[in-house]
Amino acid sequence: MAVIRDVMPAFELFQPTSVEAAQAVLDRYGAGAWVLAGGLDSLDWLKDRIRRPQAVVDLGAIAELKGIRERDGGLEIGAMTTLTEVVRHPGVRERYAILLEAAEAAASPQIRNQATIGGNVSQDARCWYYRAGWPCYRAGGNICYADTPDAINREHAILGADRCVAVNPSDTAPALIVLDAQMVIRTAGGGERVVSAEDYFVGPGIDITRMTVLEPGALLTAIRLPRTWAGAQFYFEKIRDRQVWDFALVSVASAMTTSGSTIERIRIAVNGVAARPLRLRAVEAVAEGRPRNEATAVVAANLAVEGAQPLGFNAYKVPLMRNLVKRAIRGVEAAAWTS
Amino acid sequence: MSLSRRNFIKGVIAGGAAASSAAYLFRGAGSLFGQTSAPGSVERLLSLTVNGQTRRVDVLKQETLAMTLRYKLGLTGTKIGCDRAECGACTVLIDDVPHYSCSVLTHTVRGRRIVTIEGLEGPGGVLHPVQQAVVDEQGFQCAFCLPGFVMAAVGALKTNPNPTREELAHAVSGNLCRCQDYDKILTSLLRGAEYMRRTT
């Protein structure tokens, strides 16, 4: 894959300074347009010549998409804010530390310096058959190359697969879901639409060629963190092959409030196991009102993996996910596990 | 007169014929001066601030910063390893922050301050403290990854001038060394941090 041939094929490059101007270019070029945020996901596609856009729209010059601001007692993070800026922001550190952990677990320092949180939640699937340009379901074809008897599918889905077995690669996604983050979208018509992080991601059942609710021409402009889970007890863990660069095999995020030893409220989400990051509502329902202990964690964790259907090489993800859910509920010895 | 590849490339660029030096790399991109421009898209000719100098350069829209630095500006100290943001050899500082130059479109860094490994030395060729420390500690084996490691460390030391070994390891964790020389590399970079604190 990583063969240096020469520079990418030619494209037009636009650097609009407003969302409206960006959308005008997207409208003009239609399917030939490509939105560029940090560029880490995009340039792979372009260098491999799997995608050949006519026009690339760089969002880097749009000031309103950058920075972190206070809003309604919570925070509003511009979609073009880098992961490093998220990690270093004092408000994130004090109130939403789980997002800091998740963002810091992404990729490598140089990538975090450039990659944006909007790009992190909107990036495409990493399935290598898909990325290599095979005409699979996700690419508009009618076969899944990763779901055949001898396919290499160690990193693919165990839950809710529907034709495509690719998983969502975002590290910040499960953290944003447990924080009940609200995704602010500028629709192609110029209107504003706000959807919860949970609903931002779509599976193949809704649109097999997309990872998010973003319609062509729409842009994610900001992510709002409401007050709801600020300062709750958080747990985040990402399991990967190498501690740098690699995407999650499985990741888990939870936020909870307790009263004494009883779990009052909990939100829990996993990623790396399905086409979209999954909020585990059934697990939440079982855990709420129960003591925060091993017994509750075991019941909840077994429930979490119910219905899992491993492929040829990813059965390990079932116990991995079960144990991560267990830890996310009962916690682990302090500082014994860092990502 | 012996003609090294490096001097040849530099010579051609000095002659103002960047087009011919780069032609073998930019094949398939259409004629260099024939790339059409849609209304409202970026201008090909731009000014880059590299190592304190303003350089006028003709840049393809799809060109990465690593390509521009090496093949248009002759700054071959920046290496291209994977061209995929997966090795760190091409690390440069953009506004003091380490970036993989293979994964930055040159047009997106107009007006920003770029520093490459060539830009670290002081007046009269005095090595940067981190470079001097690498020499003193003999930190690298083949040293292909050296420019990337040094730039990542210099960038990290700007925000944390007094790192622990672990913190510095984390800061340069986005750089790979094929010789697996990480221990010596870290020792030399830590020594560099120490030299820097002494000089300031």
CA pair distance A65, A63, nearest whole angstrom: 5
Mutate to test the interface with A, among B79, B100, B101 (most CBs of A within 10 A): B100
CB B88 within 8 A of CB B175: yes
Number of domains in chain A: 2
Residue B100: what pLDDT?
Answer: 98
Q: What is the pLDDT of residue B124?
A: 93
Whole-structure pTM value: 0.92
Contact with chain A for residue B28, Cβ under 8 A: yes
Residue A250 covered by a domain? yes
CATH of the domain at A243: 3.30.390.50
pLDDT of residue B4: 62
DSSP assignment of B10-72: HHHHHTT-HHHHHTTTSTTS--GGG----TTS--SEEEEEETTEEEEEE--TT-BHHHIIIII
**Shortest distance, CA B25 to any CA of chain A (angstroms):** 5
Chain B residue nearest residue A85, CA to CA? B97
Report the CATH superfamily, name and number, of domain B5-31+43-119. Answer: Beta-grasp domain (3.10.20.30)
Residue A185, Ramachandran bin (φ over 0: left; ψ between -120 and 50: alpha; else beta): beta
Residues of B in contact with A57 (CB under 8 A): none
Distance CA A62, CA B43 (A): 18
Q: Which regions in chain A score pLDDT beneath 70?
A: 1-6, 333-339
So what's the pLDDT on residue A229?
98
H, E, C per residue of chain A: CCCCCCCCCCCEEECCCCHHHHHHHHHHHHHHEEEECCCHHHHHHHHCCCCCCCEEEEHHHCHHHCCEEEECCEEEEECCCEHHHHHHCHHHHHHCHHHHHHHHCCCCHHHHHHCEHHHHHHCCCCCHHHHCCCCCHHHCCCCCCCCCCCCCCCCCCCCCCECECCCCCCCHHHHHHHCCCEEEEECCCCCEEEEEHHHHECCCCCCCCCCECCCCCCEEEEEEECHHHCCCEEEEEEECCCCCCCCCCEEEEEEEEEECCEEEEEEEEEECCCCCCEECHHHHHHHCCCECCHHHHHHHHHHHCCCCCCCCCCCCHHHHHHHHHHHHHHCCCCCCCCC
Domain membership flag for residue A6: no
Residues on chain A touching B174 (C-beta within 8 angstroms): 107-111, 244-245
Query: How many contiguous H segments (helices) and E segments (strands) does chain B have?
Result: 7, 5
* Residue-range definition of the domain harbouring residue A57: 12-61
Which residues, listed in sequence order, are joined to residue B100 by a DSSP beta bridge? B91
- Give the residue from A6, A7, A15, A18 with the most B CB atoms within 10 Å of its CB, the best one to mutate: A7
Q: In chain B, which residues have their Cβ closer than 8 Å to the Cβ of A4?
A: 80, 83
Nearest to A10 among B61, B86, B173 (CB): B61
Give A108's contacts in chain B (Cβ within 8 Å). 85, 88, 173-174
Q: Is A167 inside any structural domain?
A: no
Alpha-carbon torsion (A277, A280, A281, A287), positive or negative: negative
Task: Say whether B105 and A6 touch across the interface (CB within 8 A).
Answer: no
Q: Is residue A307 part of a domain?
A: yes
CATH code at position A21:
3.30.43.10
> What distance in Å separates the CA atoms of residue A220 and residue B78, rounded to the nearest whole number?
34
Interface residue B171 vs chain A (CB under 8 A): yes
Q: What pLDDT sits at residue B23?
A: 46
d(CA A56, CA B34): 19
Among A46, A61, A76, give the residue marking a domain's end: A61
Q: How far is A263 from chain B (nearest CA, A)?
A: 35
Domain assignment of residue A78, yes or no:
no
> CA nearest B82 in A: which residue?
A2
Q: How far apart are CA B15 and CA A61, in angstroms?
A: 34
Check if B160 contacts A (Cβ < 8 Å).
no
Does ipTM surpass 0.90 in this model?
A: yes
Q: Which of A10, A44, A58 sits opposite B29 (nearest CB)?
A: A10
Which residues of chain B have a CB within 8 Å of the CB of A335? none
Residue A302 in domain: yes
Residue B129: both structure tokens together: 């403290």
Contacts of B90 in chain A (CB under 8 A): none
Q: Are A277 and A185 in contact (CB under 8 A)?
A: no
Q: How far from the centroid of its chain's Cα atoms is residue A47's Cα? A: 23
Residue B7 has what pLDDT?
59
Cβ separation B61–A13 shorter than 8 A: yes
Sorted by where each begins, the domain ranges of chain B are: 5-31+43-119, 123-199
Predicted local distance difference test score (pLDDT) of residue A339 = 46
Q: Which DSSP helix (H) or strand (E) runs through B99?
A: strand B97-100
Q: Contacts of residue A9 in chain B, CB cutoff 8 Å?
A: 28-29, 62
Which superfamily is assigned to B123-199 in CATH?
A: [2Fe-2S]-binding domain (1.10.150.120)
Q: Are the C-beta atoms of residues A86 and A103 closer than 8 Å to each other?
A: yes
Q: Contacts of residue A17 in chain B, CB cutoff 8 Å?
A: none
- pLDDT tens per residue across all 200 residues of chain B: 455 655 555 554 544 444 444 444 554 444 444 566 788 899 999 999 999 999 999 999 999 999 999 999 999 999 999 999 999 999 999 999 999 999 999 999 999 999 999 999 999 999 999 999 999 999 999 999 999 999 999 999 999 999 999 999 999 999 999 999 999 999 999 999 999 999 86
Residue B30 pLDDT: 45
C-alpha dist (Å) from residue A2 to A45, A48, B87, B137: 11, 8, 11, 33
Which residue does chain B place closest to A59, by CA atoms? B108
Instruction: Give the residue carrying structure tokens 């026009």.
Output: A55
* Residue A245 placed within a domain: yes
Residue A24 lies in a domain: yes
